[in-house]
């Protein structure tokens, strides 16, 4: 219980998560082919979810930058910063080398796609080409939902140099209030 007598925030979040999953499973089981499901998904839940995620992504860069700056400031002594920085760089290089080596070894050992005959390979390539054409055809028209989603950038720092009036207005409007 929270101090105000209601449910704690984490309990409310868990209840919302369970109700959302249950509702999604019920709709998928009983009304997956209904037209209203596609309308609700396309025009309501997907845009709201995309805007929510973009707002979260907009918070990540300032938080990471602030954490790095505060971490450097709290170290204090430049000598210890150099030692920690060197160890961090060495660790990143080592982990990256292990990941790349593991990937190359697995690809060379397993050889994905090696047992595929030429007819199946050609059919898959043709199918991929057709699907690529369908996707490109769908990208030509810009819907109102896409215009709404472009108002909220994933990365405000990367969006600023593009001089997009909509993006700049969307970023500055809450700051001016």
Average pLDDT, the chain: 81
The predicted structure's pLDDT at residue 162: 65
C-alpha of 105 from chain center: 29
Grade residue 114 by pLDDT with cuts at 50, 70 and 90. Answer: confident
DSSP 151: T
Return the H-helix or E-strand segment holding 148.
Answer: helix 144-150
Longest dimension (CA), the chain: 68
Using an 8 Å Cβ cutoff, are 2 and 9 in contact?
yes
For 61-65, 66-70, 84-88, 135-139, which range has the lowest pLDDT when averaged over its residues?
135-139
Is the confidence at residue 84, as pLDDT, over 80?
A: no
Is the confidence at residue 90, as pLDDT, over 70?
A: yes
The predicted structure's pLDDT at residue 8: 93
The predicted structure's pLDDT at residue 88: 84
The predicted structure's pLDDT at residue 163: 57
Q: Tell me the three state secondary structure of residue 50.
A: helix
Nearest to 144 by CA among 46, 57, 55, 35: 46
Name the residue with higher pLDDT: 162 or 52: 52
Is the confidence at residue 72, as pLDDT, over 90?
A: no
Task: Supply the pTM of this predicted model.
Answer: 0.46
């Amino acid at each position: 219980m929270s101090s105000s007598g209601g449910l704690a925030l984490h309990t409310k979040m868990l209840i919302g998560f369970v109700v959302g999953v249950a509702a999604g499973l019920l709709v998928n089981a009983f009304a997956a082919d209904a037209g209203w499901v596609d309308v609700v998904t396309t025009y309501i839940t997907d845009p709201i979810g995309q805007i929510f995620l973009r707002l979260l992504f907009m918070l990540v860069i300032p938080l990471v930058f602030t954490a790095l700056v505060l971490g450097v400031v709290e170290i204090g002594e430049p000598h210890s910063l150099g030692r920690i920085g060197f160890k961090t760089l060495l660790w990143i290089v080592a982990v990256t080398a292990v990941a790349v080596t593991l990937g190359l070894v697995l690809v060379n050992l397993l050889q994905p796609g090696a047992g595929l005959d030429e007819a199946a390979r050609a059919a898959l390539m043709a199918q991929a080409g057709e699907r690529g054409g369908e996707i490109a055809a769908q990208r030509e028209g810009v819907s109102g939902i896409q215009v709404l989603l472009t108002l909220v950038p994933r990365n405000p720092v990367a969006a600023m140099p593009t001089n997009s009036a909509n993006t700049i207005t969307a970023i500055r409007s809450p700051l001016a209030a």
